[in-house]
C-alpha cells in the first residue's frame, strides 16, 4: 500500500539547473576553463556539488581543493538566487496541492543544501507542502547513494514498499531505487534516461504523474 511520496527538487519541481550551471561556469572562468552546457546537463544534472567539483578539478586539472571549489560554487549560486529564482515546472504547484490534500505523507528529498532551497520554497510559498525535508545537510552520502531516501523512510517511519519517489535524473533514480522505493521518473528537456536506471514508470509531464498516483490510490488492491 502506498502511504507516502518523496519528491526530488531541482529539475523535478523547479527549473533550476540553468542557475547551477551558471554558478559552475562562473567559478571555472578564472581558471580559463569553460563547461559546455550540454555536457553539464548530461553529466552533472542531479549530481552532488561535491562530486561535480571533484570531477571538474580532475578533468581540468584545477589548482584548488574540492571543498573550496564546492564552497565557492554554493556561494555563487546563492548570489544568483538574489536576482533570479527558479520557476516551478509546469504543473508542479497543482501536483503538490493535490498530494497535500490526499492521504499520502509528502517529503522533499534533495541533494541541495538547505540554504539553497529555502529561499526558493519561501518565494513560492511551498514550505507547507513538505512536512519532511531531507537535504544534503542531513546525510553523509549524497545521491546516488541511497542514504537520503533511507533517511526519509526512517523519519516517515515507513517501509520502502510504502513509498513512491519522483526523480528526473539517473543519479536520483538510482538513490531511490537502491533504497527500495518505487521510482517514478519524469523527463525534462535536459534529461535522457536509459531504460535500465531503475524507474518503474516514465512520464512526460507532472500532470501525468498526478493522474498515475491518483489511480494508484483508487486501485482495489490498495483497499483490500
**What digits encode the pLDDT tens for the residues 62-118?**
999 999 999 999 999 999 999 998 999 999 999 999 999 999 999 999 999 999 999
Separation between Cα atoms, residue 161 and residue 216, nearest integer Å: 13
Rounded to 10 degrees, the C-alpha dihedral 52/109/196/191 comes to: -60
Note the pLDDT of residue 224.
44
**What digits encode the pLDDT tens for the residues 18-47?**
899 999 999 999 999 999 988 888 888 878
Report residue 213's pLDDT band, with 50, 70 and 90 as the boundaries.
very high
**What digits encode the pLDDT tens for the residues 127-165?**
999 999 999 999 999 999 999 999 999 999 999 999 999
Note the pLDDT of residue 223.
47
Domains, the chain, ranges and CATH? 4-15+86-223 (3.40.50.1000), 17-81 (1.10.150)
Amino acid at each position: 500500500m502506498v502511504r507516502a511520496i518523496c519528491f526530488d527538487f531541482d529539475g523535478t519541481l523547479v527549473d533550476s539547473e540553468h542557475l547551477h550551471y551558471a554558478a559552475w561556469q562562473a567559478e571555472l572562468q578564472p581558471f580559463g576553463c569553460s563547461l559546455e552546457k550540454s555536457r553539464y546537463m548530461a553529466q552533472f544534472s542531479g549530481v552532488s556539488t561535491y562530486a561535480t567539483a571533484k570531477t571538474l578539478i580532475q578533468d581540468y586539472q584545477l589548482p584548488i581543493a574540492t571543498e573550496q571549489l564546492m564552497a565557492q560554487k554554493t556561494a555563487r549560486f546563492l548570489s544568483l538566487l538574489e536576482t533570479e529564482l527558479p520557476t516551478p515546472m509546469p504543473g508542479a504547484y497543482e501536483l503538490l496541492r493535490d498530494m497535500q490534500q490526499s492521504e499520502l505523507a509528502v517529503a522533499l528529498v534533495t541533494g541541495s543544501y538547505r540554504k539553497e532551497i529555502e529561499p526558493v520554497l519561501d518565494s513560492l510559498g511551498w514550505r507547507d507542502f513538505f512536512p519532511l525535508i531531507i537535504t544534503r545537510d542531513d546525510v553523509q552520502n549524497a545521491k546516488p547513494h541511497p542514504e537520503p531516501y533511507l533517511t526519509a523512510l526512517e523519519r516517515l517511519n515507513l517501509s520502502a514498499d510504502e513509498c513512491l519517489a519522483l526523480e528526473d535524473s539517473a543519479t536520483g533514480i538510482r538513490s531511490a531505487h537502491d533504497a527500495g522505493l518505487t521510482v517514478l521518473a519524469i523527463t525534462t528537456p535536459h534529461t535522457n534516461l536509459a531504460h535500465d536506471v531503475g524507474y518503474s514508470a516514465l512520464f512526460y509531464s507532472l500532470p501525468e504523474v498526478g493522474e498515475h498516483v491518483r489511480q494508484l490510490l483508487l486501485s482495489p488492491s490498495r483497499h483490500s
